[in-house]
Chains A and B, each alone.
Chain A
Amino acid sequence: MSTQLKHLSISLLVMAIFTIPLYFSTPYLIDFFLNPQKYIEFGSLFVSYSVSDIQILILSITFYTLIVLVGYIVYLLATASTRAELVSNYQNKDLLASKFELEELYENAPVPYLTIDKEAEIIGCNKSALRFFGVVPEEIKTKNFFAYASEEDVDLAKKFFNFYKSDVPINKKEIRIRTKKGDSKWVSLSIFLTKDSVTKEKNGLVTVFDITDQKNLDQAKTEFVSLASHQLRTPLATIKWYVEMLNSNQLGQLNEKQMEYLNKMYSVNTEMIDLVDILLNVSRVEIGTLKVEKQSVNVPEIIDGILVELASQIDKKKINFNKKYNDGLTKIESDPRLLRIIIQNLITNAIKYNKDGGSVDIEIKNKFGMGQGSIIISDTGLGIPKEDQDKIFTKLFRAGNVKDVGSSQSTGLGLYLVKSIIESLGGSISFRSAEGAGSTFTLEL
């Protein structure tokens, strides 16, 4: 505001300097223009006018205005450079302020930032980075950033260094970093390429986001599932084997009723084992620890293995199996263990919900010889009621017409698991069914 006032006063002063003398000389000037002969000897060109006071006033105002304008223009011209300077000062101040803000942001950001030169030597870093590495600035500067990688990840660090050297930015790659204290920390590493403002040489802005806690949590989850798996399955295996031992008559003949009871124990225990398996697999899917390891899978081999396991159920219901495929031409690129879980669930369902003496068809189609294919499993069972068809892959859902199927235990997890697993394998599942007319499930892999 004071600057504006200063400007105004300067303008007024300039105007005054120019206008006051002119103002006082105006009547004389007018008189000069109207009666030049009074001042100049040979003014015959001019005609004589009689002038009223009004005319003098109007002319005076015109002059005055003209003079003000001229004064202002002179002022503008005189102060142009000063104003340019002022404006640039303003801009510089803004720049300085934002530079300061940026520096503050960089320095105090909770994420460790480092700046590296074209050889990946550290030329700067923020407080967070110092805290992360547990060092003082002198210790870290001029060191090669990739030398901080943990021994386990030396090769990975070399790979990233080569990426950086060949101008490939690194985006959220996981690597372990060794701090000064000797701790190995998991970080999500990003390196963006920038240019040094002075030397114009290539620089890298490095972000090391500490993900150690997250990694530990993942580890804990995985350990929980494997612990649960061990602790639940060991007693089940123990029961299974003791019952089998009693049932084998090697310890003496049992009577019919005792045998019957033992058989019930055995089958309930088997159901329990299946349930534990399915629950563990569901939790693996849900906490994301399901590992997919694809390889060339011989699908008929998997199916044969499953049929052997289910032999007693197949015999009991007198199910007729039709394999509609060529054993030699059926390799599919997939994870054998996961594919086995999927197919086993579908075949078990096809038997469980089938009528006695029904049939199950299995068809395998290979596509383009590219390791892709589809597996089609159809049965002559209960089928899925129309109103339930959009819900059958939902967790814990059981179709209305299977809820009262005898002793068969259904958890409502099987198809949910099948769908989750096939999706993590990058495939899909679809089905066709009508109540009472069987179901056909198609796996696309």
Chain B
Amino acid sequence: MEIQNTTNQSDSISEDTNANPALKKKILIIDDDENLTTVLVDKLNFSGFDTDFSNDSVAGLQKAIDTKPDAILLDVKMPNMSGWELLEKLRVDAWGEKVRVIMLTSLDKPESVAHAMEQGSTVFIVKTNYTLDQIVDKVKEVLLVK
């Protein structure tokens, strides 16, 4: 993990001005909504994470496999490829099989939660029910799980 992080850091070092980047965990946000992505990126940066994002699911999947983040915040409803499809494809990858994924959704259908667990998502978050602080807590919690 540590080694991967260091390599990732060197790729995006120009964006990162904080000290001791090697200790930072990298979070990738994949959500087609730019406004939501911006505020999530800002919040996670303020909370001491290294962040990257993609507003397109197909590009996001590629970015995930290329940059190997510690956790992925993944939106469910996206054009081109849904979050579920992305997760399915990610779980086939040798690295992607183990990466921690937090699913973000605007829906609150009961089947979604069960579905998320089946698909191997670590946490399932209904956007309107969570504050940013709660999301940061979730991310921290998820990263602690070995």
Contacts and interface: CB of A to CB of B under 8 A. Distances in A.
B80 interface: no
A241 B106 contact: no
Interface string B96-133: 00000000001111110000000000000001100111
A226 B128 CA distance: 15
Categorize the interface residue count of chain A: 20 to 34
A342 to B, nearest CB: 14
Given A229-B108, A233-B127, A250-B46, A242 B33 contact: no
Nearest to B35: A238
A242 B42 CA distance: 10
B65 interface: no
A83 interface: no
A337 B110 contact: yes
Interface in A113-161: none
A277 interface: yes
B107 A245 contact: no
- Output the residue of A236, A245, A276 with the most chain B CB within 10 A: A245
SS of A interface (majority):
helix
B44 to A, nearest CB: 11
A237 B106 contact: yes
Nearest to A231: B106
A273 B130 CA distance: 12
Contacts of B81: none
A277 B128 CA distance: 10
A238 B43 CA distance: 13
Which residue of B108, B111, B128, B133 has the most chain A CB atoms within 10 A of its CB atom?
B128
Contact of A277 (B35, B46, B108, B109): B108
Contacts of A335: 110
Contacts of B33: 234, 238
A345 to B, nearest CB: 15
A6 to B, nearest CB: 81
B143 interface: no
Given A234-B36, A250-B46, 16 more contacts: A226-B107, A226-B109, A229-B107, A230-B107, A233-B106, A233-B128, A234-B33, A237-B106, A237-B128, A241-B36, A241-B40, A244-B131, A245-B132, A276-B128, A291-B110, A293-B110
10 contacts: A226-B107, A230-B77, A233-B128, A234-B106, A234-B127, A241-B43, A241-B132, A245-B39, A248-B46, A276-B128
| Ranked 5 nearest A-B pairs via Cβ | A237-B127, A233-B106, A337-B110, A230-B106, A241-B39
Interface of A: 226, 229-230, 233-234, 236-238, 240-242, 244-245, 248, 250, 273, 276-277, 291, 293, 335, 337
